[in-house]
Amino acid sequence: MPDPPAERLRNRSVIQREIVVKVTLKETIRVRRTVADCFRYLKDFSTIEQWDPGVYRAEKLTPGAVAVGAEFLLQLNISGKRVPMTYQLTACEDNTRLVLEGVNETLHALDTLTFSAIEDELTEITYEAQLTLKNVPQFLRLPMMPALNRLGKKAVSGLQTALERPASAPKISWNSALKDKLILPAALDFTERGYLRQADKGLSQFMDGKTVVLTGPTSGLGLAAASEFSRLGAKLVLIGRDHQRLQAARDTVLDFSGADAATIDFFEAELSLLSEVSRVADEILAAYPSVDVLVNNAGVLPLQREVTAEGHELTLAVNCLAPVLLMRRLLPALSAGSRVINVASGGMYLSGVNLADIESEHGFEGAKAYAQAKRALVTLTEMYACEWKSLGIDCNSMHPGWASTPGVAKSLPAFNKALASRLRDARMGADTVVWLAASEELRGQTGDFWFDRERHPVNVLPGKALSPNRALALKVWVENALAGYMNSGKSKAA
């Protein structure tokens, strides 16, 4: 039975409204990297979040190694809104071609990336995107083309930046220096805004053959950093206090990176106890005589004052004493080119170090004790950087900005709630950690404090800096506190 006239009219109206627009974008770049490196980086399409400014977030939905059929969920930036789009890898020819098909309610995309080796260290990449857009209003069709072309050029420009290896470490920009002096603009960049404004967010320098020791890997920044290290090919040695959580973290990392299970090892230790730190250091030294990167990430921010079984205030023990002890005890495994990265906090800008009350015995406030411990850690990192420079070991500290992590939600619930929509996610906070560990251009860069891949001053507010004499007094106090746990690993200057 034929449709009644009214129904036919409605159907015709729907067809007219669903007019589609087809667009093809094509860009070619040349990158001074091997074709194998370029292909490896792009095969995991979730790296698009690192180089395409039109993508806020990208996640590999299919666990394990990337293969044909792998799916990715992208959050696109469209007119200030985040629009989901699912991609699937439909073709994968090693070092030659990748094809991905993407779809959401209003857009279908067929992306083809082709790779050609021009020289051993020069690769040509052609990115072609065939777009089919639904329901595009007539008045937008003409101005839409230049806008899409601009987006395409920005994307491949970002890809080139992500893949190219800089010749030297970044210099301090005048804009960043001015913000630090003005304080408030710098603090505003602690949110995700600061991360998203970075010109280069690429992590493409692979770490094959390198061993990374990482504390606090079971959630938050540590888990995000471990995942990225694994994707870059590093051997991971994880330190945490809970066996089940360590196993779960390993599974999460393997799902993310697709690495072999043999590339992740873990050791249990209660890092609030210096005897445990010393014990786990001995175990790691026995199993791994060479360590390329040590990341002291584990931290704690208790709301009430707690004292460990060894007599130290918990915040100081975990956030300062344990990292310093671990780096000193692992010194025999560190060599020229090794790197130590200590994770601090932007909160340390608000604190000095009160040597008369370093254990926070009087008027305890969790946030203040945390800031003081992190200030002490940054100061000591600078001092060990000077001591170990002749050994070729680089020591740097960094802060992750304001990131939404389980630790922040638990310890600072009001702060977490007030800034929920502006906080960074864990991978944004961990970005500078991974970059400091992986970037070859940073070799020899030591004794600095980093945020968003730039060096920053450690002293901004008046009265917070430690004089040389007070810094030395801090170092003496800490080394005396650690002396009983330094009974091995003295083959180098301790």
Q: Tell me which of 41, 195, 370, 384 is the catalytic residue.
A: 370
**Mean pLDDT computed over 76-100:** 96
End-to-end CA distance of the chain: 91
pLDDT score for 134 = 86
Please, which residues have CB within 8 angstroms of residue 434's CB and are 6 or more apart in sequence? 203, 225, 228, 229, 232
Among 439, 311, 323, 443, which residue's Cα sits nearest to residue 379?
A: 323
d(C-alpha 12, C-alpha 5), whole Å: 10
Residues of the chain above pLDDT 70, percent: 92
Mean pLDDT for the chain overall: 92
Strands 211-215, 235-240: pairing is parallel
494: pLDDT strictly greater than 50: no
Contacts of 205 (CB under 8 A, 6+ apart): 165, 232, 438, 439, 440
Residue whose pair of structure tokens reads 């100061």 in the numeric block: 379
Q: Residue 188's pLDDT is what?
A: 86
pLDDT for res 138:
65
DSSP 309-362: TTS-BHHHIIIIIHHHHHHHHTGGG--TT-EEEEE--GGGGG----GGGTT--S
**E strands, 199-335, in order:** 211-215, 235-240, 264-268, 293-296
Interatomic CA distance for residues 211 and 37, integer angstroms: 20
Please report the pLDDT score of residue 2 as a whole number: 54
Contact between 358 and 373 (Cβ < 8 Å): no
Per DSSP, which regions of 120-210 are E strands? Answer: 122-134
d(CA 436, CA 459): 21
Of 19-33, 52-66, 404-418, the range with the lowest mean pLDDT is 404-418
pLDDT at position 174 is 75
Name which of 2-11, 29-38, 135-144, 378-387 the model is least confident about. Answer: 2-11
Question: Is 50 exceeded by the pLDDT of residue 13?
Answer: no
Contact in structure between 291 and 333 (CB atoms under 8 Å): yes
Q: Looking at the domain that runs over 19-137, which CATH code has it been given? A: 3.30.530.20
The Cα 143–Cα 26 span in angstroms is: 18
Name the band, by pLDDT with cuts 50, 70 and 90, for residue 7: low
Question: Are 19-137 and 175-485 equal in CATH topology?
Answer: no
Q: How many CA atoms lie within 13 Å of 108's alpha carbon, on the beta-carbon side?
A: 6
- Segment 388-399 mean pLDDT: 98
Query: What is the per-residue pLDDT for 140?
Result: 66
Averaged over 156-185, what is the pLDDT?
A: 86
**Contact in structure between 355 and 477 (CB atoms under 8 Å):** yes
- The domain ranges of the chain are 19-137, 175-485
Residues 405-443 pLDDT 10s: 777 667 677 766 777 778 999 999 999 999 999 999 999
Maximum mean pLDDT: which of 17-31, 130-144, 190-204, 411-425 = 190-204
Q: What is the mean pLDDT of residues 395-404?
A: 94
Distance between CA 401 and CA 96 in Å, rounded?
Answer: 39
220 Rama sector, left if φ>0, alpha if ψ -120 to 50, beta otherwise: left
**What does the pLDDT read at residue 148?**
87
**Contacts (Cβ under 8 Å, ≥6 apart) of 225:** 214, 217, 295, 297, 430, 433, 434
Residue in 189, 191, 167, 162 with CA at minimum distance from that of residue 178: 189
The residue assigned the tokens 């079971």 is 218
Phi, psi (deg, nearest 5) at residue 482: -95, -10
Report d(CA 337, CA 319) in Å as an integer: 25
pTM, whole model, 2 decimals?
A: 0.92
The pLDDT confidence band at residue 404, using thresholds 50, 70 and 90, is confident
> What tokens does 355 get?
């040597």
Structure tokens at 386: 């000077």
Rounded distance between C-alpha atoms, residue 73 and residue 214, angstroms: 28
pLDDT digits 0-9 by tens, 257-310: 999 999 999 999 999 999 999 999 999 999 999 999 999 999 999 999 999 999
**Partners of residue 237 on adjacent β-strands:** 213, 265
Residue 196 exposed, middle or buried by CB count within 10 Å (0-12, 13-18, 19+): middle
Q: Cα Rg for the chain, rounded, in angstroms?
A: 25
pLDDT at 449: 97
**What fold is seen in the domain 175-485?**
Rossmann fold (3.40.50)
Q: Backbone phi, then psi, for 52, in 5-degree steps?
A: -100, 110
| Mean per-residue pLDDT, 344-356 | 94
Amino acid 9: pLDDT: 43
Phi–psi pair at 389, nearest 5 degrees: -60, -40
pLDDT single digits (tens) 245-270: 999 999 999 999 999 999 999 999 99
Q: Say whether 127 is catalytic.
A: no
Distance of CA 308 to CAs 61, 165, 239, 478, Å? 42, 45, 19, 16
- Name the residue with higher pLDDT: 182 or 441: 441
DSSP codes of every residue in 374-399: HHHHHHHHHHHHHHHGGGT-EEEEE-
